[in-house]
Structure 1
Amino acid sequence: MTTVAAPTIRNVINGERVEPATGSEHFEVLDPCTGQAHLRAPCTGAEDVDRAMRAAASAFEEWSRTTPGERQSALLKLADAVARQAAEFSEAELCDTGSRDAASEIDGIVDELRFFAGAARLLDGVAGGEYAPEHTSYTRREPVGVCAQLAPWNFPLLMAVLKSAPAIAAGNTVVLKPAQTTPSSALLLADLAARILPPGVLNVVCGGPATGRLMVEHPVPAAVSLTGSVAAGVDVATRAATTLKRTHLELGGKTPVLVCAEADIAEAARTIVTGAVANAGQDCTAASRVLVVEAVHDQVLEALVAEASARRPGPPSEPDSAYGPLNNPEQLAHVQRCVDTLAPHARVVTGGHRVGDRGFFYAPTVIAGVREDDDITRTEIFGPVITVERCADEAEALRRANSSQYGLASAVWTTNHRKAMHLSSELDYGTVWVNTHLQFPSELPHGGFRQSGNGKDLSRYGFEAYTRIKQVTHRL
């Protein structure tokens, strides 16, 4: 039987697909549904990183001088082009992620492109005026320069757009590295952008952590954006600090979900399980840690187990599957290790195992009896796993939630308005959902506190992060 070699993809630099430097290595991109290689991509080295950075720096000279209206028009055209090729983008996401959740994000991605196109024309600043006698002053918002951007593998196209669209709308140019396991959709985006934007405005290079470090350490970028783990964030911040680059870090999360005694238990269980297994739990805001008051603990646990047991993972070709595979074999091993090393007082109530021997599928899992200092309550699992903690009351649940190293997102389930207002104000998290989960309108900011990083995605704040402020004063 003859094995067909996986096709090789190339970087997009200065508006063109380009061959890597002589002697460059390549890596295989696996289909998570099968575990088999379906693409080969270059491990971009120093020569090609420099080539991309120089292209972006050259393009910045003209792109930074375009008017907000011109940038808006270009991004609206790009949004329309993505919408027209939605099927192609969805297929690329399916091949790299095996996830219908990632592939179904196209409408939201188009909306984000259009949102940031509009944001380009709504720059805020201090009103021009005479703030000192016989002097007129005003402020200018300007692009920061070339932006090095490192995207994760859980929602590849969505994260590529969340990073590149606000930067480009503000007049910057971009060198983007998609995750090593999910390069396809970002390269397709760069191909489309090359027909609409000037060459060098959006460049995409493939590679792993070594390529990312070359990008961060390169002298050209003025800013670095990463979505990834806390360890990756520390590494990026440390390397960027040597040249005082601006950093935007959206890091890990461990979302506490507080369930109060008067909550609608059936609705809470349905929404929590959906928020825990969507995209196989590979979401930094997944509903992974449930804190339940003593009065309804047993009922909530029973409802969660019933909901989880009714879902099963499978490839997109199986319409009755609830979610797809984990992204790669290392992630599968990490999830299994977290479950296998439970403290003696904790127990797996349902799930806790791989599904099948082909691909990286994992069963929806509910773990009861955990305590607040257990590793599994402190570690970001990034899989379809829910832990359930018994709390004496809402005050104890709140204290436990706020003791986490993370501060990205949280949720409250209650029908008591006063309690909802109190808990949402006291939860030390960048997002608080009340009686809902996983809501991300383009107009609202997304970003966390503590070790979940700094800076915001989405909203006007995600746009302003890619600008710098200059004060100008004229003597009359």
Structure 2
Amino acid sequence: MADYKLVIGGEGVTTSDHLDVKNPATEQVVGRCPIATDEHLDAAVDAAATAFLAWSVVPDEERKAAVCRMADVIRENSEELAELLTREQGKPLNGLGSRFELQGAEAWARHTATIDLPVEILHQDESGSVELHRKPLGVVGSITPWNFPLMIAIWHIAPAIRTGNTVVLKPSPYTPLSTIRMVELLNEVLPAGVLNVVTGRDDLGQKITEHAGIQKIVFTGSSATGKKVMQAAADTLKRVTLELGGNDAGIVLPDANPSEIAEGLFWGAFINNGQTCAALKRLYVPDALHDEICAALVEYASKVQMGDGLDETSILGPIQNKMQFDKVVELVEDARARGARILCGGTVPEGSGYFYPATIVADVSDGFRLVDEEQFGPVLPVIRYSSLDDAISRANASESGLGGSAWSSDIDRAKQVASQLECGSVWINNHGMVKPFAPFGGVKASGIGVEFGRQGLEEYTSIQVVHS
């Protein structure tokens, strides 16, 4: 069991206090996370601010090359990082697990390196010209969650570094170890101070958000915490990008073929054990297809093996932490007590670890906590509807608006339904498949700003208009 270090100014920094990081499959300690003090945070911000002076004026092609080198480092060390990620997060090595996450991290870094933000000519004639330039902001504070700790870290830091900013990164206290190790490796190909990592408990995130030396916060997490981040950032007028929680609805249209969409529905809901902001969390199904859809989902779920993520045969792992495990159990039991039918799963297995089986729940409706709240776990409520217009209205009744989906044999009809959903991203016959070139963000309580693509890169810059 190792004591990990902070990374500040390119160097490992020891701390006097640590917290245990546990494997959710075994509840055994994986390693010890350093707890940063206020002085450590100040040192990290100072290191990033100093590095910014040089990094912000590095030629664009050199910054592109640096981000490509980051992608190379991730690929070259992917197996080491994947195993450590599995030990602390719980997700399987195989399938859509840790190796998949490392592949995504590499892909996002590589694509980010290809995006250009050229000078825009707004006006040019014999009287002169007006040009729009994009300039880096300064020190970016990144606060990442525990569900995809490495990939989301890359979603934050690659565009920041690509645009000439420097970074102070704070991972979740549930999954800090793989992030620390990745930052150590990335510092081998980045100038000292460009990328720093400080770790600790949740209160460290607020200190980062309030820090006067940080110009922008990018945060991925719950809507409740996102509101606190935005409030804390207000005093220093920080820029913010907030990718927050979702309670994504999927609507199956009456012409859908249950056997053809069952696999897509399942993985739309259960990718990363349902611990995904843009997972399918409510499924609206027409009366005529309800029983057939439920049966197809139950049959598919029965084939998916759950177990310790280090076992190469496991496809689903445990819920990441005890608090989230308890919430999932509570929501299912609340639905059961109100008359819901648990079609599969719904029972905590014996033994250690925070395991909960893939669970399909029927005979629920709006007003059930399982439908109205984001469960963020391996449970899918299936909700009947008689009128398609009513299903759309119910899907839009949530305060969340991250993602949604429409499932149909008629793509044009599905697109018509999709256009009526109040969410930042919508998918046809799949759910949650984000892409590095497509902007991603939420509406309503699901966030502010976007990530990915040119639009996401622009969020790490300020505009300067040059009149000549």
Q: How high is the TM-score relative to the length of structure 2?
A: 0.96
Distance of 1:461 and 1:353 partners within structure 2: 44
Q: Using the alignment, how far apart are the partners of 2:132 and 2:450 within structure 1?
A: 22
SS at match of 1:471: strand
Match of 2:360 in 1: 366
1:330 aligns with 2:323: yes
Between stretches 216-225 and 414-423, larger displacement belongs to: 414-423
* Secondary structure, counterpart of 2:120 in structure 1: coil
The answer on 1:11 being equivalent to 2:3 is: no
Equivalent in 235, 241, 248 of residue 242 of structure 1:
235
1:345 to partner: Cα distance: 3.5
CA distance in 1, matches of 2:181, 2:165: 20
Contact 1:257 1:413 in 2 (8 A): yes
2:224 equivalent to 1:228: no
1:380 to 374, 378, 385: 374
Indicate the larger mover: 303-312 or 181-190.
Answer: 303-312
Q: Read off the aligned partner of 1:424 and give its amino acid letter.
A: A
Deviation, 1:136, is 2.4
Gaps of 5+ in 1: 1-5
C-alpha deviation, 1:461, in angstroms: 1.5
Q: Is the 8 A contact 2:87 2:310 kept in 1?
A: no
Tell me what 1:398 maps to: 392
1-side partners of 2:295 and 2:462: how far apart? 52
Query: Aligned partner of 1:427: which letter?
Result: L
- What number of residue pairs does the alignment pair up? 463
Give the whole-Å Cα distance in 1 for the aligned partners of 2:109 and 2:409: 36
Letter in 2 for 1:114: R
Query: Matches of 2:348 and 2:320 in 1, distance apart?
Result: 13
SS at match of 1:163: helix
Q: 391-400 or 218-227, which moves further after superposition? A: 391-400
Alpha-carbon distance in 1 for matches of 2:77, 2:49: 29
| 1:277 is the counterpart of 2:270 | yes
Match 1:29 to one of 13, 16, 21: 21
Alignment match, 2:280: 287
Shift of the alpha carbon at 1:50? 0.6
Contact kept in structure 1, 2:306 and 2:317, CA below 8 Å: yes
RMSD in angstroms over aligned alpha carbons? 1.5
Residue of structure 1 equivalent to 2:75: 83
2:160 is matched with which residue: 159, 163, 167?
Answer: 167
Q: Using the alignment, how far apart are the partners of 1:448 and 1:283 within structure 2?
A: 14
> Which residue of structure 1 lines up, in the alignment, with residue 257 of structure 2?
264
- Between the aligned partners of 1:310 and 1:107, the Cα distance in structure 2 is 25
CA contact (8 A) 1:102 1:156 kept: no
Alpha-carbon deviation of 1:128? 5.3
| SS, match of residue 247 in structure 1 | strand
Which residue of structure 2 aligns with residue 3 of structure 1? none
Helix, strand or coil: the match of 2:121?
Answer: coil
Secondary structure (helix, strand or coil) at the match of 1:225 reads strand
Which one of 421, 424, 427 corresponds to residue 427 of structure 1?
A: 421
Residue aligned with 2:2, SS = coil
Contact 1:350–1:367 (CA<8 Å) still a contact in 2? yes
Structure 1 CA distance for aligned equivalents of residues 305 and 357 of structure 2 = 6
Match of 1:443 in 2: 437
Q: Is the 8 A contact 1:10 1:17 kept in 2?
A: yes
Name 1:408's counterpart in structure 2: 402
Question: For residue 148 of structure 1, what is the aligned residue in structure 2?
Answer: 141
Separation of aligned partners in 2, 1:185 and 1:42: 13
Matches within 5 A, 1:97-108: 97-100=89-92, 101-108=97-104
Q: Tell whether the 8 Å contact from 1:102 to 1:154 is kept in structure 2 after alignment.
A: no
Deviation of residue 320 (structure 1)? 3.6
CA contact (8 A) 2:9 2:47 kept: yes
For residues 115-161 of structure 1, give each alpha carbon's deviation from its aligned partner in whole angstroms, at most 9, with x where no partner exists.
11112xx1145315337x83422111000110001000001110110
- Structure 2 Cα separation of the partners of residues 52 and 104 of structure 1: 31
Deviations 1:14-43 (A, max 9, x none): 0011112xxx43211001110111111122
Matched, 1:308 2:301: yes
> 1:200 aligned to 2:193?
yes
Question: Is this contact kept in 2: 1:312–1:364, CA < 8 A?
Answer: no
State the Cα distance separating 1:66 from its structure 2 match.
0.7
CA distance in 2 between counterparts of 1:292 and 1:110 reads 37
> CA separation in 2, counterparts of 1:320 and 1:84?
24
Match of 1:118 in 2: 114
What is the identity percentage for the equivalent residue pairs of Structure 1 and Structure 2? 36
The CA distance in 1 between the partners of 2:260 and 2:355, in whole Å, is 26
Tell me which amino acid in the other structure corresponds to 2:86: L
Residue 95 in structure 1 maps to residue 90 in structure 2 = no
Q: What are the Cα deviations for residues 198-226 of structure 1, in whole angstroms up to 9, with x where unaligned?
A: 11000011112111111111100110011
Is the 1:429–1:449 contact (alpha carbons within 8 Å) kept by the matching residues of 2?
Answer: yes
**Which letter maps to 1:83?**
R
d(CA) in 1 for partners of 2:303 and 2:349? Answer: 14
> Whole-Å Cα distance in 1 between the matches of residues 398 and 78 of structure 2?
39
Match of 1:74 in 2: 66
Residue 13 of structure 1 aligns with an amino acid whose one-letter code is I
Give distance in 2, aligned partners of 1:128 and 1:446.
27
TM-score for both structures, normalised by structure 1: 0.94
Report which stretch shifted further, 314-323 or 232-241: 314-323
